[in-house]
Amino acid sequence: MSLITDTGALAALCERLADSKYVTVDTEFIREKTYWPRLCLIQVAGETEAACIDPLAEGIDLEPFFALMRNAAVLKVFHAARQDLEILMKLMGELPKPLFDTQVAAMVCGFGESVGYETLATKLANAHIDKSTRFTDWSKRPLTERQVVYALADVIPLRKVYRKLASVLARTGRSEWLDEEMKILADPATYVAEPREMFRRLKSRTKNPRFLAVLRELAAWRELEAQRRDLPRQRVVRDEALLEIAASAPTTLAALADTRQLPKSMTEGPTAEAIVEAVETGLALPVGELPELPAHKDHPPGLAPVVDLLRVLLKTKCDAHGVAPKIVATTEELEDLAADDDAPVRALVGWRRILFGDDALRLKHGHIALAISPDNGRIELIPVEDDAEGQPIGEAADVTSGNTAELIADTDAA
């Protein structure tokens, strides 16, 4: 059973893996009863070996693994990396680097939106992933051999998945596309919950700035309290209670006791006093410091047909180039683009602009049109008038199109 339970064995493993060009990584954790996820198992595989690391083993020091994660000469490959990276940043104080997320890479390569690991493992590595122990309690010890085998299946087939996706990215000239996406994952700010912004996650129909000021203070207090006590937010104070308190704005413990959504045990003592203090802070804010929710976008009337055309163009371009539409533009971004040529949307930046954004603007301004080909029944772009920018109509610069399945098939030797 490939399970590392002591620092010496871990150091030896990581020393060997440091010679690999890449390692595949996954973690198992629990967080149902805590604010911070509790790391229960680490799976890692190099080009020739794989092992599970038990972070709960008595006396084990994970520093050799952290050093491997910091080693810039070794690429760290994850699938749907965000939660794994959140845990590792908390433990390491920094993020692993460099990074490769196979879920994002698969979207760039045309495998659909948020494709699952099992799907990629089957299609690209011809591996069947056993799901029977998926909902196991990874904090319980000892781990069984079956659990270890299951856990290793999250990193062993991932090696071939990575190699095939990397090959397609290189052959289609899209490696830089993925690099742009990895910058987001590699930004520590992606994983930081700003306490004074947490109120924006609460579902409220009330837009009154004073109400929002009180809610902001309450939500910030709860966030810090949840972190301090290592409890889920809802275990500290439920959302419904925060919203009710923000609406009634009690400034005394007696008034707070009238909150129906708040347990009686929380209407006195230090917690109650902290809640009242947060309310008073929100009520005392100067008008110029009151928060506002993002204003509702009043797009011009009659915009819907333009959005529909952009949506068709997006699907057409993404189908032709084997890219998941979601990674290029969302419906909200299409609406913004339809309303404003200079909208701050992803589709007007970098490779997305080459693939879709420039043609979207041409379509919007009547320089090109969508038509159904009489030859094959497919939607195609046709010129309406000379393009003032002088770029060939409908051409996505040097972006290589092609059938993703065929490209994958050609990499079987990888």
Active site (catalytic) residues? 26, 28, 84, 150, 154
Q: Are 343 and 393 in contact (CB under 8 A)?
A: no
The 3-state DSSP class for residue 380 equals strand
Q: How long a stretch of residues is the chain?
A: 414
* Measured CA angle at 405 (ends 393, 103), to 5 deg: 90
Nearest to 109 by CA among 372, 401, 367: 401
Tokens for 295, please give them: 């204003």
Helix axes 209-229, 239-248, angle to 10 degrees: 140
The 3-state DSSP class for residue 33 equals coil
Nearest to 99 by CA among 114, 83, 81, 116: 81
Nearest to 256 by CA among 238, 277, 235: 277
| β-strand pairing of 38-45 with 22-30 | antiparallel
